[in-house]
Amino acid sequence: MKNRSDRLASRYGSPLLLALLLGICILFATGFTAGNKVYDEADLLTDAQEADLQAECIRVAQAKSVDVILLTVDDAGGRSAMQVADDFYDQNAFGYEAPHGTGILMLIDMDNREAWISTSGDAVTYFTDDRIQRVLDSVFEYLPNGDYYGSFRAFLQDVEYYMGLPVQSGEGTGTPWWTGLLVQAGIAVLIGAIVAFALVARAGGVMTVGNRDYMTGVRVNASSDQFLRKVVTARVIPRNTGGGKGGGSTHISSGGFSHGGGGRGF
Amino acid sequence: MILIMKCPNCGSSMSFSPEKSRLVCASCQSEQPVEERETAAQKEWTDDSTVFNCTSCGSQLVTEKNTSATFCSYCGQPTIIPARLTGTYAPSQVLPFKISQKQAQEAFFKWCRRGLVTPKALVKAAKVRKISGIYVPFFLYDCDVAGNFEAEGTKIHVYRIGDTEYTETSFFNIHRNMDALYRRVPADASARMNDEQMDKLEPFDANELKEFSMPYLSGFFAEKYDLDGSQLMQRIRGRIDGYFEEYARSTMSGYASLRMAASDIRYDQVRTDYVLLPVWMLSFMHKGKEYLFAMNGQTGKVVGKPPISRAKVLLWFAGVAGAVFGLLKLLEVIFR
């Protein structure tokens, strides 16, 4: 046994080690830095809470390959919550794999009294409009009570859950998960019934002669296919508004970067 | 008067053998071609009684009024009643049996075994209760028809410009005028026989029809027709109208939808031939119920409602449904 594992190690050991080293190099080269992730500018959190959230952000970031930023502001400077969140993300060039890369930011904007979630890079795909609303649902179990720490914790928990979780077809369109199953089962039952019915119906023998069997000759004397009229109907094809496999809907921030996201007032 | 195919060798009766296609004597096995027995038809047969005396055992032979060939119910001697095969009842042609009784039984068992929803008990041990070869009276119709068809058809073209999808539906008026010849379309002329069952026995190969001769009937049952031409013409018209319209439709191709607005079919010439076609009638009992089958005596095609095994039908349903469901799931995984 040992002999075998030795052989394995000698055969695959060095490439494996190389790959590991390469991976680590790439990780550092692409710049995920465990820098500050919690920016409590409105001073809503205690120092202990901040430290706790900082550690959690880094843990989730490393586990799910997504930069996670928490931000609170008490002065929006006349901007909307969305602009505040996007600008902050862009100015700090957050991103897991590269600056302005994959990341998600949650803002509690005390000025606009709004919570906003801004997504970038791959996070846009995983955080569909529907999922954002569900994350906000979790956040708003705490936020209206002034439990900012709890709302951030809820946010982090949901980010960890949804990031990397493939978007199911039909998810977020209001159809429950078992609709597809029901359709498939329906088709299966229908085809099964048709086959069974056909077997019973054909058991007594079927007509084997058709319309040409007794025809020995045919002559076409006159034949015409005359065009009468034409009717044209138009239908506007509804645009794909996201929410499906394509991920959440996006917009371009003032910094020129594409962000997804959504928010809710409190 | 009745007619017996006496063996010129030993004097007992001879039967038509489908395998040898000649007359074979039951006692001395001597054979004789049918063509050498061209005697009975020339004579004048006017006897229209239904009760005869068997020439072999002397017992009374009571027949139904349409029976033209039968067996003595006491001694089993094949008996032909020429009065019902001459004059207006003289068939012009006969299609001799090609499948013997033994072959018919074997073919029937094979068919039972092939049945996908036939009860297991039947597949294992099907026992024929009764089997009889019958020459069933048919009229073969030759029809020259002329048809005028008017139909409405649509063609649909869908295209996209930007975000708008346009559906262009074009309407057409289609007209066809054609002549067609339908030849040798059979219609059974015996009220006793189930029309649908007889239709399903087709096709009979009309090329094997022989000029009628009574010896072919020896050893089989035969009947004379009891449905008149006008009743049959209605059935034939129904069939040929359907065939012709279907054909006309097939010449109107390329349409997304087609509706026949008017079809006017005229029968210019109709000619009929009175013929006898070979059918094996088989019956067997299953769970106290009698099942009746018909078999084409030329091709061996079996028609009839067999008992259905509910368990087998259910199994098929479950199997197919399960397989389809599995396939859909598989496709879903592949194309996700």
- Inspect the interface and report whether the beta carbons of A232 and B200 lie closer than 8 Å: no
Per-residue confidence band for A154, with pLDDT thresholds at 50, 70 and 90 = very high
pLDDT of B64 strictly over 90: no
Of A175 and A95, which is predicted with more confidence? A95
Question: How far is B12 from chain A, CA to nearest CA, in Å?
Answer: 40
Which range in B5-9, B75-79, B144-148, B197-201 is most confidently predicted, on average pLDDT? B144-148
| Chain B (13-72) residues lying within 8 Å, Cβ to Cβ, of chain A | none
Question: How far apart are the C-alpha atoms of B42 and B50, rounded to whole Å?
Answer: 22
- Inspect the interface and report whether the beta carbons of B203 and A217 lie closer than 8 Å: no
pLDDT of A36 strictly over 50: yes
Instruction: Enter the pTM of the model.
Output: 0.65
Burial B188-215 (b: 16+ CB within 10 A, else e): bbbeebeeebbbbbbbbebeebeebbbb
Question: How far is A121 from chain B, CA to nearest CA, in Å?
Answer: 22
Residues of B in contact with A223 (CB under 8 A): 175-178, 251
At A224, which helix (H) or strand (E)?
strand A215-236
Residues of B in contact with A191 (CB under 8 A): 320-321, 324
pLDDT tens-digit readout, B120-156: 777 666 677 788 999 999 999 999 999 999 999 999 9
- Inspect the interface and report whether the beta carbons of B180 and A219 lie closer than 8 Å: yes
Question: How far apart are the C-alpha atoms of B246 and B240, rounded to whole Å?
Answer: 10
pLDDT above 90: percentage of residues in chain B: 45
Query: Stretch A199-205: mean pLDDT, rounded?
Result: 83
Q: What is the structure's pLDDT at A19?
A: 55
Which range in B34-38, B143-147, B282-286 is most confidently predicted, on average pLDDT? B143-147
Q: What is the structure's pLDDT at B54?
A: 85
| Chain B (112-141) residues lying within 8 Å, Cβ to Cβ, of chain A | 115-118
- Inspect the interface and report whether the beta carbons of B244 and A211 lie closer than 8 Å: yes
pLDDT of A172 strictly over 70: no
pLDDT of A14 strictly over 90: no
- Inspect the interface and report whether the beta carbons of A229 and B179 lie closer than 8 Å: no
- Inspect the interface and report whether the beta carbons of A196 and B317 lie closer than 8 Å: yes
- Inspect the interface and report whether the beta carbons of A211 and B115 lie closer than 8 Å: no
Q: Are B22 and B33 in contact (CB under 8 A)?
A: yes
Question: How far apart are the C-alpha atoms of A250 and A260, rounded to whole Å?
Answer: 4
pLDDT of B96 strictly over 90: yes
Residues of A in contact with B252 (CB under 8 A): 225
pLDDT of B73 strictly over 90: no
Residues of B in contact with A205 (CB under 8 A): 197, 200, 301-304
With 0-12 / 13-18 / 19 or more C-beta atoms within 10 angstroms meaning exposed / middle / buried, residue B153 is buried
- Inspect the interface and report whether the beta carbons of B242 and A211 lie closer than 8 Å: yes
Which residues are paired to B263 by β-bridges?
B149
Relative orientation angle of helices B310-335 and A179-202, to the nearest 10 degrees = 140
pLDDT tens-digit readout, A60-110: 998 888 999 999 999 988 899 999 999 999 999 898 888 888 999 999 999
Per-residue confidence band for B111, with pLDDT thresholds at 50, 70 and 90 = confident
Q: What is the structure's pLDDT at A218?
A: 92
How high is the mean pLDDT of chain B?
A: 87
pLDDT tens-digit readout, A240-253: 544 334 567 788 88
Burial B278-300 (b: 16+ CB within 10 A, else e): bbbbbebebeeeebebbbbbbbb
pLDDT above 70: percentage of residues in chain A: 81
CB under 8 Å to A192, separation ≥6 — which residues? Answer: B316, B317, B318, B319, B320, B321, B322, B324
How high is the mean pLDDT of chain A?
A: 82
Query: Stretch B41-69: mean pLDDT, rounded?
Result: 77
CB under 8 Å to A132, separation ≥6 — which residues? Answer: A117, A119, A248, A260, A261, A262
pLDDT tens-digit readout, B292-326: 889 999 999 989 888 888 888 999 999 999 999 99
Question: How far apart are the C-alpha atoms of A31 and B272, rounded to whole Å?
Answer: 96
DSSP output for A21-82:
HHHHHHHHHTT------EEETT--S-HHHHHHHHHHHHHHHHHHT-EEEEEEES--TT--HH
Q: What is the structure's pLDDT at A247?
A: 62
Q: Which of B181, B314, B328 sits opposite A188 (nearest CB)?
A: B328
Q: What is the structure's pLDDT at A1?
A: 43
Token pair 């089997």 in the structure block, residue: B131
